[in-house]
């Protein structure tokens, strides 16, 4: 595990890669933040800021993520600041309370120190994989806590080797909705890795579900 100490927005090159996969079904670019942190087992993980208070996340990580979220959300569009001004709250605890009470304001994509530098080259498969979880967070009709728990428990992204092994396996040809969050992310990643073919077994999932925002 590595507590995030740096955060940045997606570059234009990274965003172009992502829109080439997801079309217009991702959250606004300004809602997505890349950090140099890592989760349990030093695995990358993605989490909505709305879930920062989830009890399964160690307190130190909660604090670091909250701090980043406060900087990010407060500094970008001023929504957090405006909300706080209206309600008259001040101080770090009030800010944390506001951050954790607002739903789906943003996403923290924690990828570790090396991919953090640039995800448009060597780490573009990881970029697509993690943003698949952002896509799930935005488009899922399930409760946010369900989505978060599912991601947190299953995600071990491809930076650690082939994500086709073990828990990442998916039986091909089944209905999109029958795949769990990790299987869906793997399908999207593998379709991208294979050159975004507009034919073959994975293409219908992209065309009919991913680009239509259907989880
Ligand atoms: Zn994953």
Distance between Cα 137 and ligand 1 center (Å): 12
Residue 198 CA to ligand 1 center (angstroms) comes to: 23
Angle between helices 59-76 and 92-101 (to 10 degrees): 90
Predicted local distance difference test score (pLDDT) of residue 104: 43
Question: C-alpha angle 133/20/196, rounded to 5°?
Answer: 90
> Is residue 12, in this structure, part of any structural domain at all?
yes
3-state secondary structure of 19: helix
Beta bridge partners of 169: none
- What is the model's pLDDT at position 122? 95
Task: State pLDDT tens for residues 146-178.
Answer: 555 555 544 544 334 444 444 457 787 899 999
pLDDT band of residue 38 (cuts 50, 70, 90) is confident
pTM: 0.74
Q: Decide if 99 is inside a domain.
A: yes
66 domain residue, yes or no: yes
Which DSSP helix (H) or strand (E) runs through 67?
helix 59-76
Contact 26, 139 (CB under 8 A): no
E strands of the chain, at which residues? 7-8, 32-35, 45-48, 107-110
Q: Which of 24-38, 99-113, 197-211 has the lowest mean pLDDT?
A: 99-113
Backbone φ and ψ of 133, nearest 5°:
-70, -35
In the structure, ligand 1 is a single-atom ion and the residues with CB under 5 Å from it are 155, 185
Query: Would residue 205 count as lying in a domain?
Result: yes
Report yes or no on 2 lying in a domain.
no
The band of 71, judged by pLDDT with boundaries at 50, 70 and 90, is: low
155 in a structural domain? yes
The pLDDT value given to residue 148: 59
Distance in Å, CA 84 to ligand 1 centroid: 34
Across 30-56, average pLDDT:
72
At 16 the pLDDT is 98
| Amino acid 145: pLDDT | 57
Domain enclosing residue 82, as ranges: 7-212
pLDDT at position 50? 63
Percent of the chain with pLDDT over 90: 34
CA of 185 to the centre of ligand 1 (A): 6
Are residues 83 and 102 in contact, defined by beta-carbon separation less than 8 angstroms? yes
1 in a structural domain:
no
pLDDT band of residue 195 (cuts 50, 70, 90) is: very high
Domains contained in the chain, number: 1
What are the beta bridge partners of residue 34? 8, 109
Task: State in Å: Cα 43 to ligand 1 middle.
Answer: 9
- C-alpha 191 – ligand 1 centre gap (Å): 15
Would residue 176 count as lying in a domain? yes
Q: How far is the CA of 153 from the centre of ligand 1 (A)?
A: 9
What percent of the chain lies above the pLDDT cut of 70?
60
pLDDT on residue 28? 86
């Amino acid at each position: 595990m590595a507590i995030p100490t740096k955060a940045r927005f997606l570059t234009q090159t990274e965003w172009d890669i992502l829109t080439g996969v997801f079309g217009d079904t991702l959250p606004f670019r300004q809602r997505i933040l890349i950090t140099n942190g890592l989760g349990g087992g030093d695995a990358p993980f993605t989490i909505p800021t709305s879930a920062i208070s989830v009890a399964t996340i160690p307190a130190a990580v909660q604090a670091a993520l909250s701090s980043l979220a406060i900087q990010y959300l407060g500094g970008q569009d001023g929504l957090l600041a405006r909300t706080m001004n209206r309600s008259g709250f001040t101080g770090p605890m009030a800010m944390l309370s506001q951050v954790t009470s607002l739903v789906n304001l943003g996403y923290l994509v924690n990828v570790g120190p090396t991919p953090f530098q640039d995800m448009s080259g060597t780490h573009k498969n990881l970029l697509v994989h993690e943003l698949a979880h952002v896509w799930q967070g935005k488009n899922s009709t399930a409760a946010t806590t369900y989505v978060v728990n599912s991601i947190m428990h299953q995600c071990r992204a491809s930076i650690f080797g082939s994500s086709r092994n073990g828990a990442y396996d998916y039986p091909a040809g089944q209905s999109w909705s029958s795949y769990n969050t990790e299987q869906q992310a793997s399908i999207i990643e593998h379709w991208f890795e294979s050159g975004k073919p507009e034919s073959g077994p994975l293409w219908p999932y992209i065309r009919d579900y991913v680009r239509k925002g259907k989880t």
